[in-house]
Amino acid sequence: MSDSKAQRILIADDQPDVLEALRLLLKGEGYRIETVTSPADVLPALEAKDFDLLLMDLNYTRDTTSGQEGLDLLSRISSADHALPVVVMTAWGSVEVAVEAMRRGARDFIQKPWENARLLSVVRTQIELGQAIRKGQRLEAENELLRNGDARPVLIAKSSVMRPVLELVKHVGPSDANVLITGEHGTGKEVIARTLHAVSQRASLPMVTDDAGSLSEGTFESELFGHVKGAFTDAKTDRVGRFELADGGTLFLDEIANVPSNKQAKLLRVLETGEFERVGSSRTRKVNVRVISATNANLQEEVEQGRFRQDLLFRLNTVEINLPPLRDRREDIEPLAEHFLREHALRYRKPLKGFDDAARTTLMEYAWPGNVRELEHTVERAVLMAQGEAVSARDLGLQRGAKGEAARRLEDMSLEEVEAFLIQKALARHDGNVGQAAQSLGLSRSALYRRLQRYGL
């Protein structure tokens, strides 16, 4: 069998002659075989390694006729890994025992003495079905978690201050080095991360993204490392974590400064060794993942304050890329605005030809405290508001002036507009530092992040 060489089967039986006969039969078909002689050894073996199939006897020395010891073990195996195909065997076959074994999670039933041809057929079929189930789990998780993983990002950077960024992307992108991207909120850190992935040797494999700022301590490990069925109250099925999904590819961890301090050691371990365990499992898994992370915080300051591990920072910032704010790359404002105009005009089916002169002046004079993200949000709104062939200054809804602050009075704004305005002011006052802005507004970091996403800032 040319396709079974990598497939591993665990056989559990307390009779040495049966184990040897099955080992020789299945090894001759190209399978890798491991054996255990007691029910107590089955679960530790399954925890230690991945198997494609378990072939297990139902009758052991405690009770050699009812199959109860094997049935009890079968229930525990099904709870631990319901995707693992289990084929049960017994010399005391009966319809009742077979039905009960299937009810507890067995995929098929073989009576001793077995027929070689049927046993091999059952093994081959169940391994194929098990692989299909696991593949389905992975695809379902990818559909849920991967966001535009294959889309080549558009990186618009014509200003002189962006040249060092482009040089770093050019030289570091093809490597496997971990990269830390720093810069104010909304400067385009994810675009740089996707560009690094797109020019790397891993470009044909997934890039998985995760916002560490939105993860609570309770969900952090499950989201990154996955969990097994029954690991906690709502764990009704196995779940693949971000690291497994990104195996062979790239994992982008946004807002890395928000990783809970008591979870940083586990993140450090997987960065150092590639090893981790799903929540609720003791089986160690290994992945090959390039990690690109991003933050708007000063991580060195976080280290000095005892909120971030120094050794974790060393692992993350093999290379650091700092993105300048949009106010320092004013040559990029018009090209970026035109790009967003084309995108959103197409999306909303508006026949717009560009910006009028007043709109261009307004774009250039505004301070853009929310950086590129705010620019895109502003252009999208302008596309929706525009009545003529070109976007006007009024469509932008911005105030022309050196400081670019809104001229509308607070009493003329809606509650959401006031909140967005005050958030922008706080971000500008603290140079884009979300932590400091959140503190000044009396919000938690995660609460401010939710509002930034809501208002497109």
Residue 410's pLDDT is what? 53
Torsions phi, psi of 253, nearest 5? Answer: -105, 105
Residue 40's pLDDT is what? 83
CA distances from residue 7 to 72, 283, 288 in whole angstroms, order as listed: 26, 18, 21
User: How far is it, in rounded angstroms, from Cα 240 to Cα 138?
Assistant: 7
pLDDT averaged over every residue in the chain: 83
Domain positions in the chain are 8-143, 160-324, 327-454
Report whether 69 contacts 63 (CB < 8 A). Answer: yes
The neighbour count for residue 271, using CB atoms within 10 Å, is: 18
pLDDT of 423 above 70: yes
Q: Is the dihedral of CA 337, 340, 344, 345 positive or negative?
A: positive
Report whether 345 contacts 351 (CB < 8 A). Answer: yes
CATH for the stretch 8-143: 3.40.50.2300
Q: Which long-range contacts (CB under 8 A, 24 or more apart) does 162-166 make?
A: 162/324, 162/329, 162/332, 165/192, 165/321, 165/322, 165/323, 165/324
The angle, 0 to 180 degrees and rounded to 10, between the axes of the packed helices 16-27 and 116-145 is 70
Residue type at 372 in one-letter notation? V
Residue type at 298 in one-letter notation? N
Report whether 6 contacts 51 (CB < 8 A). Answer: no
Range of 51-55, 279-283, 313-317, 411-415 with top mean pLDDT: 313-317
CATH for the stretch 160-324: 3.40.50.300
Secondary structure (3-state) at 386: coil
Report whether 450 contacts 370 (CB < 8 A). Answer: no
What is the reported pTM? 0.64
- Does domain 327-454 fall under CATH 1.10.8.60? My reply is yes
The neighbour count for residue 62, using CB atoms within 10 Å, is: 11
Q: What is the largest CA-CA distance in the chain?
A: 90
User: How far is it, in rounded angstroms, from Cα 285 to Cα 306?
Assistant: 30
What is the token pair recorded at 213? 């700022």
Top pLDDT among 406 and 25 is at 25
Report whether 390 contacts 353 (CB < 8 A). Answer: yes
Q: Is 160-324 in the same CATH topology as 8-143?
A: yes
pLDDT of 200 above 90: yes
CA dihedral 341, 164, 303, 297 (to 10 degrees): -20
Tens digit of each residue's pLDDT (9 = 90 or more) over 38-90? 888 888 888 778 888 999 888 765 555 555 777 778 877 766 666 788 888 87
Three-state secondary structure readout of 277-304: ECECCCCEEECCCEEEEEECCCHHHHHH
Tens digit of each residue's pLDDT (9 = 90 or more) over 126-182? 888 887 777 666 665 555 544 444 455 788 998 999 999 999 999 999 999 999 999
Tens digit of each residue's pLDDT (9 = 90 or more) over 286-312? 999 999 999 998 999 999 999 999 999
User: How far is it, in rounded angstroms, from Cα 203 to Cα 196?
Assistant: 9
User: How far is it, in rounded angstroms, from Cα 192 to Cα 326?
Assistant: 15
Tens digit of each residue's pLDDT (9 = 90 or more) over 361-405? 999 999 898 899 999 999 999 999 998 899 999 999 886 543 444
Secondary structure (3-state) at 111: strand
Q: Which of 50, 108, 42, 96 is nearest to 72 (CA)?
A: 42
Residue 249's pLDDT is what? 92
Tens digit of each residue's pLDDT (9 = 90 or more) over 229-254? 877 877 777 888 899 989 999 999 99
User: How far is it, in rounded angstroms, from Cα 165 to Cα 228?
Assistant: 41
pLDDT band at 421 (very low <50, low <70, confident <90, very high): confident
Indicate the burial class of 258 (C-beta count within 10 angstroms; 0-12, 13-18, 19 or more): buried
Strand partners, 206: none
